Homo-oligomer: A and B are copies of this chain.
Amino acid sequence: MYSFRNDYSEGAHPAVLKALTDTNSEQTCGYGLDPRCAEASDLIRRQCAAPDADVHFVVGGTQANLLVIHALLRSFESVVAADTAHVNTHETGAIEATGHKVCSVPSPDGKLTPALVRAVLDRHDGSEHMVHPKLVYISDTTEVGTVYTKAELSALYDFCRKQNLYLFLDGARLGSALTAEGSDLTLPDLAELTDVFTIGGTKNGALFGEAIVLSAGCGRANFRAYMKQRGAMLAKGRLLGLQFSALLDGGLYLDIARHANEIAQLLREGIAELGYSFASDSHSNQIFPIFPDAVVKKLERCCEFESNGPAGDGFTCIRLVTSWATPRSAAEQFLKDLAAM
């Protein structure tokens, strides 16, 4: 049975695996101080047109989020995030475990705007009896599959700078975001319009790995000490640099993300043609169709996916996720199965 459960079901893209295999017997320094990480960092700085950026590689997204937030904030400072944000819902309180409150705000489309952030600021009076919102966390794609436009990100970053807030963009699915219909953002835009962002490898062709890109403007000294303290410094750090070089050099990263989006949109269009609706307007590699419960039960016998919970009146929302590895045939089979129900 094919699984649309997530975009980390398989191993690595063959080019990544080849890079790991080809260099397996190389001896290098540990902990990310090796030439492979240096190469990948340089490549990222070039592709981001951000020669002053600091780049660090970690294994996972929760690690990246808690490190960035803990390194940048003081104890009484808090994070502003959409209520659906990964840091607010799906990291078992990882941010709070570093001592920081997440001030969440309801967002219908998973995105933050100056007005939504303003609403959080308005609840906080700057007194010593309240946390001080200091970092705005967004994700692109968002947890509901939507993406930011350059105009939206510019407006938000302008607002953040005026309010003396850091803007942190979680790019766990950045490949999908940058290649989604409706997105006009590029890596240099991200470097210019955020204080820190991540480039997700795990969900787009790597065995694992997130690259953290910190601009010169944010308090980033001793970031590696934070990494080590939180258990986020990989001994064979070389593996991270290698994978990012394999993905980013030559544009593979965007190419395979585009493939994932295309398959997802194939699903989306096919499902829409059959008359079903969606919980969010996603043009990325996650889509959220709503089906009658009976249809969901039948689909469970055809393929694997996650339920997103009841959608009222005998309907259920499910999540379908595609990846660099999803064959077109899997989507076609899904649609065929669905049409037959």
Contact = CB atoms under 8 A, between A and B. Distances in A.
Interface of A: 2-3, 5-6, 8-12, 14, 17, 20-21, 23-31, 59-63, 65-67, 70-71, 74-76, 78, 89-94, 96-97, 99-102, 123, 128-132, 202-203, 207-208, 222, 224-236, 239, 304, 325
> Which of A9, A97, A100, A232 counts the most B-chain CB atoms under 10 A from its CB?
A97
A99 B100 contact: no
B96 A101 contact: yes
B94 A96 contact: no
16 contacts: A10-B24, A10-B26, A11-B26, A11-B236, A17-B24, A21-B21, A60-B235, A61-B235, A71-B75, A74-B222, A90-B130, A96-B100, A128-B224, A128-B228, A207-B239, A231-B231
Contact of A63 (B71, B101, B231, B239): B231
A229 B94 contact: yes
B11 A91 contact: no
> Which of A5, A27, A100 counts the most B-chain CB atoms under 10 A from its CB?
A27
B25 A230 contact: no
Contact of A2 (B27, B74, B227): B27
Contacts of A236: 8, 11, 202, 207-208
Contact of A226 (B29, B75, B228, B239): B75
Contacts of A30: 5-6, 8-9
A89 to B, nearest CB: 7
Contacts of A12: 24
Interface pairs A-B: 5 shortest CB-CB: A11-B24, A63-B231, A76-B225, A92-B229, A128-B224
A232 B58 CA distance: 11
Nearest to A24: B11
B62 A233 contact: yes
Contacts of A92: 76, 128-131, 225, 228-229
Contacts of A123: 89
Contacts of A65: 231
Given A129-B91, A208-B239, A231-B63, A76 B21 contact: no
A235 B76 contact: no
A143 to B, nearest CB: 12
A60 B234 contact: yes
A94 B235 contact: no
A129 B8 contact: no
A142 B23 CA distance: 30
Nearest to A62: B231
> Which of A67, A129, A130 counts the most B-chain CB atoms under 10 A from its CB?
A129
Nearest to A29: B5
Given A76-B228, A92-B229, 20 more contacts: A8-B30, A9-B28, A11-B23, A59-B234, A66-B231, A75-B93, A75-B226, A89-B130, A91-B228, A92-B225, A92-B228, A96-B131, A99-B99, A128-B222, A128-B224, A128-B225, A132-B222, A208-B235, A230-B230, A230-B231
